[in-house]
């Protein structure tokens, strides 16, 4: 019989015939339990008492050591009896402290020098300051656009998923009160309050947009739908960065905005070409159905600092190969033509179009046309080295001629490219050269924009063309000799 059972029987009034054995067991069990409890309490008290004595002893020794003056006569005795007592030298201790203080001062000075310093931005009151969203703002073109908008004093929000964009391109604005960076993919909806939207988000070079064709299509369709929906909700104006690739391999030359294009809808470039064509269609559907303010810029070949080193474009490929003394690769005979504009000219064109009252598509590009072979020769001469020019099979659907007609840009947004070709190429070579010299992350290669680069004269475009043609002629003369 257990304790619970015996007490239960003892307390029960129903069982009137309880045995004497059960009656006499309850007091015995109670006494036994009381003795056990008393023993455990006594043992616990002894343990706590001993622990308290030990703690007080250690605390007393620690207090004595802290309170004792630090002088040369004091002897520090180790707890280990085998250790030889040592007497510290006051002079050595002082010198060590002074050295540590000097090191801390030096570190503080370095941190002060490395703290964020921002370029001077224009002050704008709440009446003039705009809230501007730039999708793809950490990319090549987007980061230069962000620089200009920030310097003008606007509040800029950058949205980028960093597929081809890099935080390095806009890190000089991180922490500024007018700047905000969101790691976000435009294929997912975004809910913020803005006044203008520059929709630049999309991989733009063939290796990048061919890497994941479905993702490229989704970015240019679903992503554009999301940005148009945001613009509709907050009544913002949207500029969509389209491309000269909507013309495909053109059958007319130069290409005007009225030309419908010649595009292979199932070719390797179709994910980008057709994606941008659908994006333009959606922009004008929103304008017609909902009265949305839209602007469409058809961008031609652009180059400049912050280009991705491995984007596969003509300029970056040629400069990188020449700097590393590698063969300069040309696909095909090199007789295909391109028109190249410097990135600051493009940024000026995008801003002018956004703030204009013109809503039809506009070509933004440099109308000066060069063959790929001539371009490779000039870059090789500018860089130096002994890179040879090699030819490989032509790429499928590669356009043979590309030159914009910028009549609309001149007439409706008063824009023409101003940066001479050779000036832009030299600045791009300088940037790539510094990039290749980097050996560790602390060796920064931050390109600060120079918006005074543009010439104010109308002859700047001709000057660049003349210098380029002269360089190309010099190269041919050297080859013949």
Active site residue 370: no
Which pLDDT does position 44 carry in this prediction? 61
Can you tell me the distance from the alpha carbon of 472 to that of 481, in angstroms, rounded to the nearest whole number?
14
Average confidence (pLDDT) over 429-457 = 70
Which pLDDT does position 430 carry in this prediction? 92
On whether the CB atoms of residues 335 and 375 are closer than 8 A, the answer is no
Can you tell me the distance from the alpha carbon of 155 to that of 139, in angstroms, rounded to the nearest whole number?
18
Going by pLDDT thresholds of 50, 70 and 90, the confidence category of residue 37 is: low
| Of the listed ranges 266-275, 446-455, 468-477, the one predicted with least confidence | 468-477
Going by pLDDT thresholds of 50, 70 and 90, the confidence category of residue 43 is: low
Please enumerate in sequence order all residues whose Cβ is within 8 A of that of 383, keeping only pairs 6 or more positions apart, or say none. 319, 322, 323, 429
Report in angstroms the alpha-carbon separations of 42 from 33, 36, 53, 339. 14, 10, 17, 96
pLDDT higher for 36 or 164? 164
341 has a pLDDT exceeding 90: yes
| Of the listed ranges 35-39, 207-211, 250-254, the one predicted with least confidence | 35-39
Average confidence (pLDDT) over 42-68 = 50
| Of the listed ranges 14-18, 315-319, 352-356, 431-435, the one predicted with least confidence | 14-18
Can you tell me the distance from the alpha carbon of 250 to that of 264, in angstroms, rounded to the nearest whole number?
11
The catalytic position among 272, 286, 342, 370 is 272
- What confidence tens digit (pLDDT) does each residue in 184-199 have? 999 999 999 999 999 9
Please enumerate in sequence order all residues whose Cβ is within 8 A of that of 269, keeping only pairs 6 or more positions apart, or say none. 206, 209, 210, 245, 396, 397
pLDDT higher for 92 or 254? 254
Average confidence (pLDDT) over 380-408 = 89
Which pLDDT does position 424 carry in this prediction? 93
Can you tell me the distance from the alpha carbon of 172 to that of 378, in angstroms, rounded to the nearest whole number?
33
Which pLDDT does position 105 carry in this prediction? 84
Average confidence (pLDDT) over 145-152 = 96
- Domains identified in the chain and CATH numbers: 131-480 (3.40.50.720)
> In sequence order, what are the beta bridge partners of 179?
156
**Which among 363, 366, 364, 389 is positioned nearest to 376, based on CA atoms?**
389
181 has a pLDDT exceeding 60: yes
Which pLDDT does position 116 carry in this prediction? 65
4 has a pLDDT exceeding 50: no
């Amino acid at each position: 019989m257990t304790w619970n059972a015996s007490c239960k029987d003892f307390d029960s009034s129903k069982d009137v015939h309880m045995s004497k054995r059960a009656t006499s067991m309850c007091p015995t069990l109670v006494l036994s339990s009381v003795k056990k409890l008393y023993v455990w309490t006594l043992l616990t008290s002894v343990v706590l008492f001993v622990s308290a004595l030990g703690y007080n002893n250690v605390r007393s020794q620690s207090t004595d050591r802290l309170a004792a003056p630090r002088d040369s006569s004091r002897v520090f005795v180790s707890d280990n009896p085998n250790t030889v007592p040592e007497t510290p030298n006051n002079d050595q201790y002082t010198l060590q402290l002074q050295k540590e203080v000097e090191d801390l001062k030096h570190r503080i000075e370095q941190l002060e020098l490395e703290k964020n310093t921002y370029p001077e931005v224009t002050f704008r009151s709440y009446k003039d300051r705009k809230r501007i969203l730039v999708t793809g703002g950490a990319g090549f073109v987007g980061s230069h656009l962000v620089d200009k908008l920030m310097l003008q004093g606007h509040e800029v929000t950058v949205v980028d998923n960093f597929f081809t964009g890099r935080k390095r391109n806009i890190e000089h604005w991180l922490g500024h009160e007018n700047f905000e960076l969101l790691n976000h993919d435009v294929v997912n909806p975004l809910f913020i309050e803005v006044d203008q939207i520059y929709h630049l988000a999309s991989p733009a070079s063939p290796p990048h947009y061919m890497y994941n064709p479905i993702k490229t299509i989704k970015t240019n369709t679903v992503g554009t739908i999301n940005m148009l929906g945001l613009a509709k909700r907050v009544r913002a104006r949207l500029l969509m960065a389209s491309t000269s690739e909507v013309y495909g391999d053109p059958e007319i030359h130069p290409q005007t905005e009225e030309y419908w294009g010649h595009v292979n809808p199932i070719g390797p470039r179709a994910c980008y070409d057709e994606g941008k064509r659908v994006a333009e269609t959606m922009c004008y559907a929103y304008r017609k159905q909902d009265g949305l303010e839209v602007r469409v810029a058809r961008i031609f070949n652009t180059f400049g600092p912050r280009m991705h080193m491995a984007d596969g474009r003509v300029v970056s490929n040629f400069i990188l190969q020449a700097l590393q003394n590698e063969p300069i690769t040309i696909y095909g005979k090199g007789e295909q033509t391109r028109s190249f504009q410097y990135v600051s000219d493009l940024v000026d064109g995008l801003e002018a179009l956004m703030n204009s009252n013109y809503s039809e598509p506009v070509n933004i590009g440099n109308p000066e046309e060069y063959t790929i072979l001539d371009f490779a020769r000039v870059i090789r001469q500018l860089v130096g080295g002994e890179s040879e020019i090699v030819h490989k099979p032509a790429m499928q659907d590669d356009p043979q001629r590309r030159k914009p007609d910028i009549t609309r840009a001149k007439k409706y947004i008063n824009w023409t490219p101003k940066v001479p070709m050779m000036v832009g190429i030299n600045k791009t070579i300088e940037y790539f050269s510094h990039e290749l010299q980097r050996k560790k992350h602390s060796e920064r290669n931050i390109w600060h924009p120079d918006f005074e680069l543009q010439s104010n004269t109308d002859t700047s475009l001709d000057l660049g063309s003349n210098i380029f043609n002269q360089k190309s002629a010099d190269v041919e003369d050297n080859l013949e000799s």
